[in-house]
Amino acid sequence: MRNDTIGAADYRTIFAISLPSVKTPEMKFFHSKNKQEPKIEKEKRGLFSRLTRTREGVFGGMLGLFKSGKLSPEILEQIEDQLLVADLGVAVSQKIIERLKNEASKGKLTNPNEARAILRAVMIELVADCEKEEPSLYSDRPLVVLMVGVNGVGKTTTLAKLAARYTNANIPVMLAACDTFRAAAIEQLQTWGDRLQVPVIAQSHGADAAAVAFDAYTAAAARGSQILLVDTAGRQHTHGDLVEQLKKVKRVMKKANPEIPDEVWLTVDAGNGQNVLSQVAHFDEAVGLTGLCITKLDGTAKGGVIFALADRFGLPVRFIGVGEGEADLRPFHAEEFVDALLPEIGEDAE
């Protein structure tokens, strides 16, 4: 039976993904194009297979350390080393160690299963506040998301994955090619636009990025787009001119509508480890961040950096990138993420 028109709530249930709600008195309807959207179990399995490096490289071995049922100082030291390898950072690693010691002193840590349960609880606690509802859409103007970050972290790819995600839910998207700095950046975005059949507003290489952003918002509002995703040039946060240009993009956007951008998302590469902490601090100071996208979790054993970020900044983790394809983007769910990092006992931990 064909069922092309389904309500947003039904859509969420059927496809088990959280989509943004729409700020409108009347109900918005999403049309399903993609009947093959993964169910939550499939998504979970997918995530599990993508986080193999951090899970097997770090947490599997670590749970094995609890086999003796004793938490000697040497074992605690090895556990801390493993946590540091996964890039949870010193502060978070020490918090976890303290918790383990505390539970051990109550006699609650006598085997790997108990260790897993305690680790799971403490890790979920650490990142629970980073899981947030997706921002609501507006009925009368596009939601504007400004994507920022240093070179090569995956901003443009993440933006394209987001465009695919919204397009699949029949939410009209527009892209703004505001990376006018790097040669070929505009073409890269246009290629994605062609592939996803999403309009791209662009000028030529070297054009004023702020002017492109202004035009793109005007076009998106005129054409009834519900989301405008703005690509920007990869810049080192220490590169003063480019940071100023980014601030200008934000300022000029506000001339089109003082409320925009609604969201400023910093993309960081999980493989960059603790360096991402200074990236977040600098970009937050320069343009005010409302969320993070954490990419390349599939290619690194440093997936623990999310815990360090949560501990230090507490910013929402909007999405995680687990591959190069357009479907390799997941909303961040604390429990699902931790479950994908911790092997079941009798599996990798043996």
Residues that bind ligand GTP (CB under 6 A): 149, 151-157, 179, 182, 185, 234, 295-296, 298-299, 321-324, 328
Are 179 and 232 spatial neighbours (Cβ–Cβ below 8 Å)? Answer: yes
**CA 75 from chain center: how many Å?**
33
Q: Is 267 in the site for Mg ion (CB under 5 A)?
A: no
Site residues (CB under 5 A) for Mg ion, limited to 284-303: none
> Which pair of tokens denotes residue 62?
């670590």
> Which pair of tokens denotes residue 169?
């839910």
86 vs 264, which CB is nearer to Mg ion?
264
296 binds, among Mg ion, ligand GTP, none (CB under 5 to 8 A by kind): ligand GTP
86 vs 175, which CB is nearer to Mg ion?
175
Q: Which residue is nearest to ligand GTP (CB)?
A: 234
Q: Count other C-beta atoms under 10 Å from residue 225's C-beta.
A: 25
Site residues (CB under 5 A) for Mg ion, limited to 153-192: 155-156
146 vs 185, which CB is nearer to ligand GTP?
185
145 vs 153, which CB is nearer to ligand GTP?
153
Q: Count other C-beta atoms under 10 Å from residue 258's C-beta.
A: 7
Nearest to 269 by CA among 240, 306, 224: 306
CA torsion sign for 341, 346, 347, 348 is positive
| Residue 187 Cβ vs Mg ion, minimum distance, rounded to whole Å | 11
155 vs 161, which CB is nearer to Mg ion?
155
- What's 40-78 look like in SS3? HHHHHHHHHHHCHHHHHHHHHHHHHCCCCCCCCHHHHHH
| Residue 132 Cβ vs ligand GTP, minimum distance, rounded to whole Å | 20
What letter represents residue 120's amino acid? R
| Residue 13 Cβ vs ligand GTP, minimum distance, rounded to whole Å | 27
Q: Residue count at the site for Mg ion (CB under 5 A)?
A: 2
Bond prior to 261 in cis (omega within 30° of 0) = yes
| Residue 345 Cβ vs Mg ion, minimum distance, rounded to whole Å | 42
| Residue 347 Cβ vs ligand GTP, minimum distance, rounded to whole Å | 24
Site residues (CB under 5 A) for Mg ion, limited to 140-159: 155-156
| Residue 207 Cβ vs Mg ion, minimum distance, rounded to whole Å | 16
259 vs 324, which CB is nearer to ligand GTP?
324
199 vs 299, which CB is nearer to ligand GTP?
299
Q: Is 232 in the site for Mg ion (CB under 5 A)?
A: no
279 binds, among ligand GTP, Mg ion, none (CB under 5 to 8 A by kind): none
| Residue 149 Cβ vs Mg ion, minimum distance, rounded to whole Å | 9
| Residue 4 Cβ vs ligand GTP, minimum distance, rounded to whole Å | 32
133 vs 324, which CB is nearer to ligand GTP?
324
299 binds, among ligand GTP, Mg ion, none (CB under 5 to 8 A by kind): ligand GTP
Q: In whole angstroms, what is the distance from residue 343 CA to residue 62 CA?
A: 10
Binding site for Mg ion (CB under 5 A): 155-156
